[in-house]
Amino acid sequence: MPTHASGNSAQQPQQAQPQQRPPSVMLLVPSGDLMHSQCTYALAMAMSNLVAHGVSVAATFETSSVIAIARRNLVDHFMRSNCEFAWWVDSDMMFPIDAPIRLLNRGVPLVGCNYRKRYFPNPHFTAMNGKPGNVTEYKTTDQSPEMERVDCIPHGMMMVHRSVYQRIPAPHYLFEYDAKLNVEVGEDYYFCQKARQNGIDVWCDNALSRQIAHIGIMNYDHNLSQCVKGVQDGIIQVPSKPATTAS
């Protein structure tokens, strides 16, 4: 059953079209030359679990050095299929076996996870609220509601219903440069902005976000548990602040 959202909206989440039969899902993975082994294992387990739940599955991968082009090509593959949902997974993500089932069960056309960037020692979250030049980091904590609307969610772990791409005019993914603000607008923000302009809510699944990780020199999870342990064990060295002297 879909989980009702809470947090910054009193409205019910928009419901995807009712399913009279198990849905069909196409896995979309943009990547460079590398697929992390942890991600590959998680994908194999999750796809097997989808099949065990009666879900029809397909998969397509796109290798490109330009992420916006890779995403556009993957959408083309998806729209030529008869699959109902696009399950986006980046090649450097870790997630539980039931991740796609849980995203499907949210019952909304567009839902994704929030995760940290792989920047140490400042691994900020990737979801955000606001407009280019004036954005606020959206943080997922242990106290965050299960579901909450946001302005932008990254595509590393996202489920999108076919109707979203039918409703948003192409191109769905672009890098844009705002000369006035001197900022680059990434393809994730571009897509989410277009979705909201066309009346589609962007939902963050905080419950699942607390169980995924971004693979880097360590697995960056929502509370940086692996980082904390690394510091405690002396594996990660954090520079100490220089001592100050009284003037």
DSSP letter at 220 equals: E
- Residue 29: is it exposed, middle or buried by C-beta count within 10 angstroms (0-12/13-18/19+)? buried
Q: What is the pLDDT of residue 2?
A: 42
Residue located via tokens 């880097």: 216
Residue located via tokens 């277009």: 194
- Report the C-alpha gap between 105 and 149 in whole angstroms: 17
Angle subtended by helix axes 67-80 and 187-197, to nearest 10: 50
Task: Tell me the β-bridge partners of 130.
Answer: 135
C-alpha distances in angstroms, 146 versus 26, 97, 102, 149, 212?
Answer: 25, 19, 12, 11, 14
Residue located via tokens 């002297």: 245
Report pTM: 0.81
Q: How many residues does the chain have?
A: 247
Q: What is the pLDDT of residue 162?
A: 98
CB 214 within 8 A of CB 155: no
Q: Which residue numbers in the chain have pLDDT < 70?
A: 1-20, 119-122, 216-220, 223, 225-247
Q: What is the pLDDT of residue 15?
A: 58
| DSSP H helices in the chain | 37-52, 67-80, 99-105, 162-167, 187-197, 206-209, 225-232
Contacts of 39 (CB under 8 A, 6+ apart): 89, 90, 91, 92, 93, 94, 215
Q: What is the pLDDT of residue 227?
A: 64
